[in-house]
Structure 1
């Protein structure tokens, strides 16, 4: 441990699942450096989930997505100017390892730490770091997150510590749910169509489990799919419209979550809720499996360095296998 470290900045801009899987390190940093302050820099669109986090001193948001969409160099200049005003940090840790996050880190200050050129998809990012960590890109994403923090701050985040973690995010809302049955959430959306499990099979799972099944949706297209599922299964209910913070609270009240490889599904692991993650074009590298957080992978071979977005093999996962695992977890 470096006792000189008093002010820490973490850069993790996007996406939602990456932020969920990164924020677990906050509790371990705080335990090792109880007198240090931790600031976090992220994309504005994902900031809600980190707002008012008790272990974050200041949350700084930027809007690179808006710049990319509008090509506004005025916005880019304003962003750079803002980053330069954040002050001095003893260490700035880029947990993302992309060129954009590396540039953001370097603008904030000189004491940057990130992945080396052989440990990330964008090797040029390593040019912006003062110190670097080496861990194969193919390794589990949460293990990588734990390692880069361990290496940067000279602490030891172990497997047992990850298993015994406290819930990552504070719960800010209460939901009145049924107590006569088990409450199961289904995450039906994903960033790619090839990550999405068929709605027809979700109906079969709901009918087999015969518990209270809430179908979570995040946009109009997902809402239409969710409504179709609720129409075809008497056990399925449309979940309310949820902000990121209320989604955390909702999932934290579940007995089980079943979902595609996407941010809301990862929230179950973060909050110590039992979960089944369904994987087609990706692998269990994307989750941290525990006795109550498991992945069910399709039969396709995946090259994690060159993911095939046209791999729709998730559709072939037998729904009966999901039902069997769900019943075991619900015990």
Structure 2
């Protein structure tokens, strides 16, 4: 019976499996940027850097702002992968009944749910980074993408496409949540503010401070090339997960009416832990509001990360982890 079976073979004289697709270098890749980035002074990389200037760090300004990179299909494919994280961070959100149950179970209020949320981020986020990293660099969050642009690790076209697809993924997640609950009257923990307890100015200050801490620590453990000799690129995503989990836990219970950065509630319900997976992710909150209703304070979820990214970009410029010797860059045409 098996005489007519045709088995696929990689070649006429070999039983080897096909080689994996080559990983496209990207200086803004979380964790493995230390492994998958190139030396911009090496003439062998001229063609690669002409097509992808952010394959090497510290991109010249004219290349970072060039719009011709919108024409590269590979960049669009990478951006499409970025829609996955925000979608899955919105869709599993829960309604009020489960949060009321948590409130009745834990006498400590928001403390234990915040701890559960932090632990979930520590465990799950590195898996998303490992999965999406080879294709897109695994930002999965507009805050990280915008920060890499101001840190001169990503071009403007990549930043625009990534943020656009991240927002699109969040919107799809919000619509899926609405369809799952069959109503727009639901609460997605972490994306609403109890304005009777927390003012807009206070919420912005907390968001900005925590976003800046998230960016600084994530860059330090996941994007600093000097860390390769310390713990290697494989541990970078794990440490980024620890950073997110720590920020989620610390801000999850410290202020009544505010249960975590990009994690505030409009009603006094305790947030479900796993909904803190994408803390500090404006695309997640955008998707939540697409599925439910937009709030007047949604600007906080965007302006705070933007300001934090700009400040961190200035810090990266003043104290860069990369050498800025004026060796001619192969894409500058000097």
TM-score (structure 1 length as normaliser): 0.29
Higher-strand-fraction structure = 1
What TM-score does the superposition give when structure 2 sets the normalisation length? 0.29
